[in-house]
Amino acid sequence: MKITITASEKDFDTVAAWRIIAQILKKPDSVIGLSTGQTTMGMHKVVSEIFGQYPFDVSQVTLFNVDELTNLPREYSGSCYTMIRTQLADPLNIPDDRFIMPPTMSDNFEKECLIFENKLAVCGGADLQMLGIGTNGHIGINQPGTPFESETWVSPMDPDFEARVRRETSVPPETILGGLTRGIKNIMQTRKIVLVAKGAHKAEIIRKAVLGPVTCEVPASVIQLHPDCEVLLDPAAASEIAGKLSS
């Protein structure tokens, strides 16, 4: 596991963006997994800006997101489809047939999980996963306690996040919300993982994920076992591990 600490938050966005661009330049038909949230918005913006100024070939690139909200309209501004479509897929002119996302609404999400994974398999599997981490250690929407052998499934939302989504969407209380997420096993089958985090609020969980025991109570700790994984941090997120890393 490689750990990279950038000089600043601004540098973090640029370095992270180049991880995506470098993958595309190295393998023009790359299948790239993304994550949504405050950590990744900046890097997506930088990728889009560089593409706008110095266009590179994305004609064979396939994008997907590691997870998607369920039982909400796809048009909801907080849906992963809408965020990735707006932040990256549209600026890079990625067509729908190379933007693989499960639906947000379905009568059979178990089937949708299989369809999602099959589409990725047909493309050759994921080459790169830009992976966020929650303050409780979740990756994708695999919450603490999720078995490492889990495969793509519909997970409950974090209670605080669910409360926010309900406020924003006015979804009725009887509607069960969740997140269709690649399972930990599926994520670990990605050829290369770059786990990204920035901000002081991520410092404690980064310490647990990187220096603590590998445990399903901290799902992100499983990346310690991946053969090609980089942990990319800004100084604030790295504050609890910076002095504890071996040279």
d(CA 62, CA 30): 6
Asked if pLDDT for residue 110 goes beyond 60, the answer is yes
CATH number of 2-241: 3.30.950.10, 3.40.50.1360, 3.30.390.10, 3.90.105.10?
A: 3.40.50.1360
CA nearest neighbour of 239 among 179, 193, 212, 199:
199
Which SS3 state, helix, strand or coil, does residue 211 take? helix
Range of lowest pLDDT (151-155, 171-175, 221-225)? 171-175
pLDDT grade, residue 106 (50/70/90)? very high
Asked if pLDDT for residue 247 goes beyond 70, the answer is no
Q: Tell me the pTM.
A: 0.96
Q: So what's the pLDDT on residue 158? A: 85
Two tokens, residue 209: 């994920």
Cα–Cα distance list, 168 to 79, 141, 163, 181 (Å) = 12, 19, 9, 21
pLDDT grade, residue 246 (50/70/90)? low
Taking residues 177-191, what's their average pLDDT? Answer: 97
Cα–Cα distance list, 83 to 46, 55, 91, 236, 243 (Å) = 15, 22, 12, 25, 36
Q: So what's the pLDDT on residue 245? A: 75
| Mean residue pLDDT across the chain | 96
Two tokens, residue 193: 């993982």
* Helix H or strand E encompassing 13: helix 9-26
d(CA 101, CA 119): 9
